[in-house]
A and B are shown apart, each in its own frame.
Chain A
Amino acid sequence: MKKRLLLTVLAGLLALPLLIGQAHAQIRIGLMAPLTGSWASEGQAMKQIVDLLAEELNNAGGVLGQKVEIVAEDDAGDPRTAALAAQRLSTRGIVAVIGTYGSSITEASQNIYDENKIVQVATGSTAIRLSEKGLRYFFRTSPRDDEQGLVAATTLKDMGFGKVAILHDNTTYAKGLADEAQALLKDSDVEIVFFDALTPGERDYSAILSQLRARAPEVVLFTGYFPEAGLLLRQKKGMGWDVPFIGGDATNNPDLVSIAGKEAAESFMFLSPPVPQDLDSPEATSFMAAYRAKYNDDPASVWAVLAGDAFNVIVAAIKGSGSTEPDKIAEYLRTGLTDFEGLTGTIAFDDKGDRVGELYRVYKVDGEGRFILQP
C-alpha cells in the first residue's frame, strides 16, 4: 500500500516537468522589479499594472494565438540581487523582460540579458550611460536625464529667470541632472549663483536655506527626491522666504505635499513624464478605468505606468514581427514601431533604444495640494 502511494507520488513528480513544459507553449515575458526593499512600493505597483495588462490581453485572445505569462522576479532594488534575478529569469524561457526601476540596478542586469539574447525594456532607469553602451537588446520607456536637464534649462529660461540656484543631493541621478542643467544654462545668459549638494536623510535644512537666501537667487532648482523637497519647502516657508522652487521628476510623489503641508507646497513646480490621469488618449482612459475597477485606486507613480508601456511595446513587437525571436523583436522595436499609442503618450525608439520625443511636462502644485499639469 505504502509502496503504491510512493510510486504515485514519484510518477507525479516525474510528470511535473511535462506539465511545466506544457505551460512553456505560452509566451513568457519576464518582469524584474523591486518587490521588496526601499523601492518596494514602486515594484509592487509595476507588478500590479503588468499583471492587469497581461490579464486583459489574455482575455482578448493573447498574441499570435498564444497566451502571455508573466514571470516576476524580485531585484530588491539592489544591484547584486538584480544580477541574480537576471540570471534566474534568463533560464526560464522568457522572450523579453520588463525592468527595472533604478539605473544602477538595471546596469547590473544589462549584460546578462544581452549575452542571453533577451530583449530588455527598462522602465524607470534614466541614467544616460545605460543606452550609450550600444547593447542591441536594450530599450527603455523612461526618458533620459539629459532630456530632463534640457527641459529644466528651457523651462527656467522661458520663465525669464536671470539668477538660478541649483541644489542636488549627490546621488547619481540628482547630481547628473544638476550637472546637465548647469551645463545647458551656462551657455545662455542665465547666471548660476549657487551650485552645491545637501545631505539626504536629515531633518533640518535651514542652514542650507539661509545660505541660499544670502545668494539671492530668483529661482531654486532642486534635483533631489521628494522627502527633502518637502522639508525644504516647509522650512523655506517657516523662514518667510518667498522664492519659487522647481524640482525634478523624483519629486513627483503625493507625499511631497503631506510633508511640506498644502500651504508651503503651493506653487511648487516640477518636471515629470505625465501621469495617465492627465492624458486623454483612449489607451490612457481605458487603462485608468480598468485599473480603478481592479485595484480601487489610481496608480500613484508614473514609473509603474512606464512598466505597463514596456509590456505593451513588447507585445506590439511580437505581434508586429510575427515572431518571438529576440533579434526580430529588437529589430521591430527599433524600426517598425512608430507612433505607438502608449499609456504615457506616443512611443517610438531611436537607434540606441531610447524613447523618442518629448515626454516631460511641467506640473504645479495648487492650493489644494493637487498636481496640475501646466499647458
Chain B
Amino acid sequence: MQLFLEQLTNGLAVGGIYALIALGYTMVYGVLKLINFAHGDLFTIGAFLGLTLLLSLGLTDHIGPVAGIIVLALMVMGLVAVIGALLERTAYRPLRTSPRLSAVVSALGASIFFQNAIMLIYGARFRVYPHDLLPTTSISLFGVDIPVMRIVLFAASLVMMAGLYYFVQRTKTGTAIRAAAIDQGAAKLMGIDVNRVIMYVFLIGPALGGAAGMMVGLYYGQINFTMGWVYGLKAFTAAILGGIGNIPGAMLGGLLLGVIEAMGATYISLAWKDAISFMVLILILIFRPTGILGERVADKV
C-alpha cells in the first residue's frame, strides 16, 4: 500500500509536467489542426532561458527565493511566448493555406533548428541548475515521504492549468479561441480576428511549455539540448490520450500518463514502462478513437 501511494505521487508529479506541455499541443491542434512538433523544443528553451536568467540576474539573492522564482517564471513564460509567436509567424502562417503536410514538415524543421541553435549557444554538455535553491524538506503523509517542492510544483502546474481553463471558458478572448477552433470561417464572419486568436494560442501554449521546462530544470537540476524530445513525445501522447484539441483532456491525459508509467514500472516491468504507456494509448485509440474526453476544444460550459 505504501509503495502504491508513493508511486501515485511520483506519477502525479511527472504527469503534471506532461499535462502542462500537452496543453500546448492540444491548443494548437484545436485551432489549426496542426501538430506543433517544435513544442518540445520550446520546453527546452524555457529550461535554458530559466538557467541563464537565474545565473545572470541573481534574482533569488536580491528578493528571496520564492519571489525570485516567481519573477523568473514570469520572465521565462513571457520570453518563450514571444518565441512561440515568432515561430507561428515565420514557420506556420505562410503555410496556412498550403496542404497540411507542408506545415508538418515546417514544424519538424523548426524543431531541428531550435535543437541545433540551443546546442550551438549552450554547448552539448549537460547544464546544471544551482543546487541549494529549493528547500529539500519532505512531509510524511500516510507513511509516504513527499518532498515539499514536489507538492509545490504539482500545485503550480494545477494553478496554471486552472487559470488556462478559466481563461478559455470565461473570457472574451477564450470564447474567440473556442469559436475559431470550431469553425475558422464562421468565426471570421462573426467578426473574430482569427490571426489574433492564433497568435494568442501560440503565446499561451509556449508560455506553459516554457514554464514546465523551467520547473523541470529547477526541480531535477540537469538540462541538455535534447531533453525536449522525450518530454515532447510523452506530452503529445498525453494530448492524444485525453483527446487532442480538448483542454481538460490534455490535463487528464498528462496526469493519467504519469500515473500509468509509474504503476507500469512498479507492477509490470521497469524496462517495459514506455511500451506499457503506448500500449494503453493504442488500446484507448482502438476503443475510443477520439481519446478519453473526445476531440474538440470544449465548447460546452
Q: Point out residues on A near B: beta carbons under 8 Å.
A: 38, 40-41, 170, 196-199, 201-204, 206-208, 210-211, 214, 227, 230-231, 234-235, 237-240, 255, 258-259, 261-263
Contacts and interface: CB of A to CB of B under 8 A. Distances in A.
A207 B13 CA distance: 10
Main secondary structure of the interface of A (DSSP, over half): helix
B103 to A, nearest CB: 28
Nearest to A227: B126
A239 B269 CA distance: 22
A204 B10 contact: yes
Interface stretch (B191-199, B236-244, B246-254, B270-278): B270-278
Given A41-B125, A199-B274, A258-B128, A207 B269 contact: no
B222 A230 contact: yes
A117 to B, nearest CB: 37
A240 B145 contact: yes
B185 to A, nearest CB: 42
Contacts of B261: 207
A259 B221 contact: yes
A204 B13 contact: yes
Of the four ranges (under 10, 10 to 19, 20 to 34, 35 or more), the interface on chain B belongs to 35 or more
Given A199-B274, A255-B125, 15 more contacts: A41-B124, A197-B271, A202-B230, A203-B227, A207-B11, A207-B265, A210-B3, A210-B6, A210-B10, A211-B266, A227-B222, A239-B138, A239-B147, A255-B126, A258-B126
A207 B11 CA distance: 7
A203 B216 contact: yes
Question: Counting chain B CB atoms within 10 Å of each CB, which of A170, A198, A211, A231 scores highest?
Answer: A211
Contacts of A258: 126, 128
A206 B226 contact: no
Given A199-B273, A239-B145, A207 B125 contact: no
A143 to B, nearest CB: 26
Contacts of A238: 136, 138, 147
Contacts of B227: 201, 203
12 contacts: A41-B124, A41-B125, A196-B270, A197-B271, A202-B230, A207-B265, A210-B7, A210-B266, A227-B126, A240-B145, A259-B128, A262-B131
A360 B212 CA distance: 42
A207 B271 contact: no
B262 A207 contact: yes
Contacts of A259: 126, 128, 221-222
Contacts of B262: 207
A238 B149 CA distance: 10
Interface in B186-232: 216, 220-222, 224, 226-227, 229-231
Nearest to A240: B145
A38 B186 CA distance: 50
Question: Counting chain B CB atoms within 10 Å of each CB, which of A170, A204, A207, A210 scores highest?
Answer: A207
Given A196-B269, A201-B226, A40 B124 contact: yes
Contacts of B297: none
A212 to B, nearest CB: 9
B10 to A, nearest CB: 5
Nearest to B262: A207
B14 interface: yes
A40 B229 CA distance: 21
B9 to A, nearest CB: 9
Nearest to A259: B222
A198 B266 CA distance: 12
B220 A204 contact: yes
A347 B274 CA distance: 44
Contact of B271 (A170, A214, A234, A240): A170
- Of all A-B residue pairs in the complex, the 10 with the closest CB atoms, nearest first, are A196-B270, A197-B271, A207-B262, A261-B131, A203-B220, A207-B10, A206-B10, A210-B6, A259-B222, A258-B128
A226 B92 CA distance: 39
A36 to B, nearest CB: 10
B13 A206 contact: yes
Contacts of A262: 131
Interface in B101-137: 124-126, 128, 131, 136
Nearest to B264: A207
A214 B267 CA distance: 12
A263 B13 CA distance: 24
A261 B227 CA distance: 20
B90 to A, nearest CB: 28
Contacts of A202: 230
B138 A211 contact: no
A197 B271 CA distance: 5
